[in-house]
Amino acid sequence: MATLVVPNISEGRDRETIGNSVNSVESEGMSVLDVHSDVHHNRTVLTLSGPAACVPGAMVALARSLDHVDLRRHDGVHPRMGRLDVCPVVSMRPTATSTSAAVELARATGRAIAAPCDLPVYFYGDAAVRPGTRSLAAIRRGGLKTLKVRATDELPPDIGPPRVDLSRGVVCVGARRPMIAFNVWLEGGAAAARRIASRVRTTNGGPIGVLALGWELPNTPHSQVSMNLIEPDRTGIGDAFDAVAREALAEDVAIAGTEVVGMVPERLIPSPAAEVSQLFMTPVRSLDEALRRLDETVD
């Protein structure tokens, strides 16, 4: 079974940089299933598939393709800590063997990146080597400038140089099960979006497995509730939408649209008749279908 990797890079506007990043991973033997760039987040999510042996080299090539990106000049609503911001290896099967393989590959990838790219590496998710870095939120707390200080004391990088350069940042390499990045666009400002996001988080009594942030989308009349559904078999796209819709109604805020970032396992795509599906701004792409087409191409 091919390995699935979903690196996120801190560039969502410069088409040349994004194109060079795509070329860099393809040159190392990975197939690009999907490219999702967001100008408001200034971020691109790549969905990649390929042999496990190709992943470390492809991530090194991807990091090097971003050498010219200066995070001190980066602007975008999404939190970020590095040029190659996060690099999760996805464990597609709910088995200990699958998880173990993803963890091993994530740690090998982090080791491959650290020295030649001279970048601090933090391992997160199932690949974390200490409790304090299991969640990305714990690493991101306070932002990159704060991490530069924390790296010298309470939160040193797991591998790589011990100091954080603000122009280059760090790389977070992890292993995880499939998740869904799901955004709900709202009519109105950021204050309501932040309140809604707070109330739908699992930690505040919201549905199981929901991480959420709310922010304004600059130069638009919209704000956004941006969610990661980390247990999508328990709380799917429709459930998360319903939770946001209830809170939006209480706030007297209209929903302008919805979107999924990246790809979704086929079984988790809502019915076309569902309310959330009527509001999708772009079609939801099936991961299973993309993998089937890739297999047909290889055969």
How far apart are the C-alpha atoms of 287 and 59, rounded to whole Å? 21
Distance CA 233, CA 236 (A): 6
Taking Cα atoms as reference points, which of 103, 99, 89, 100 lies closest to residue 51? 89
Q: Calculate the alpha carbon distances from 22 to 14, 19, 50, 66, 163 in Å.
A: 13, 5, 14, 11, 29
Task: State the Cα–Cα distance between residues 222 and 186, nearest whole angstrom.
Answer: 5
Q: Tell how far CA 182 is from the center of its chain.
A: 11
Catalytic residue among 41, 68, 74, 78: 78
Asked whether the beta carbons of 199 and 171 are under 8 A apart, the reply is no
> What are residue 121's phi and psi, to 5 degrees?
-125, 130
78 is catalytic: yes
> If 0-12 CB within 10 Å is exposed, 13-18 middle and 19+ buried, where does residue 78 land?
middle
In degrees, to the nearest 5, what angle opens at C-alpha 148 toward C-alphas 141 and 224? 35
Written as one letter, the residue type at 2 is A
Query: What H or E segment, with its residue span, contains residue 50?
Result: strand 43-50
Grouping H, G, I as helix, E, B as strand and the rest as coil, residue 125 is strand
> Which residue numbers are catalytic?
78
